[in-house]
Amino acid sequence: MSADARRDRLFKLLEPVAAAKGLDLEDVTITPAGRRRLLRVVVDGDGGVNLDQVAEVSQGVSKALDDSDVMGTGPYVLEVTSPGVDRPLTEQRHWRRNKGRLVKADLRDGSLAEGRIAAVGDSGVELRPDDTGTPRLLAWEELAKGRVQVEFRRRDEDDRHEEDAGDGDEV
């Protein structure tokens, strides 16, 4: 069985398992790991994913795989996880789940847009650049993908800390 065919079969088998727990199946990958294979199943939900949900999905996935021949007879290790911050934003739900976060968006015309996700709707994503504050609506057909930018200290947190200091000095 080809890798693409196996991945498609895994998606069809495992999507209902994730959905039963109120989660979306985001990705399935199989990679060699010595004499075994690593089957990584990535799930996500609107409120994020907690450890109890990961454990429940893991049990459901394990049972579904045991009842199926999709992984063949060779040994494998199952890992159920949530997507990392470096996951590309490609679906509307990815953008919605990251509302308020700073992102860089690759546009289909080859240009870039950067800003904080202010709104996500049927027509597209509204980004608010930090420097101008003027929102820009990017239509879904304009967007190729986006990436969340890691922030060690958000700008609005800096403002709150300065207000809390209360020393009267202007910045």
**Which runs of consecutive H residues, i.e. helices, occur in the chain?**
3-20, 51-66, 92-97, 155-165
102-124: per-residue pLDDT in tens? 999 999 999 999 999 999 999 99
- Both tokens of 154, joined, read 């958000």
What structural domains does the chain harbor? 3-81 (3.30.300.70), 86-171 (2.30.30.100)
**DSSP bridge pairs for 78:** 39
**DSSP bridge pairs for 30:** 39
pLDDT over threshold 60, residue 132: yes
Query: d(Cα 53, Cα 71) in Å, to the nearest integer?
Result: 23
DSSP state of 139: E
Question: In this prediction, what percent of the chain has a pLDDT beyond 90?
Answer: 66
Q: What is the model's pLDDT at position 156?
A: 56
pLDDT-derived band at 131 (thresholds 50, 70, 90) equals low
Residue 78, helix vs strand vs coil: strand
Looking at the whole model, is its pTM more than 0.75? no
For residue 137, give the nearest of 121, 161, 160, 155 by alpha carbon: 121
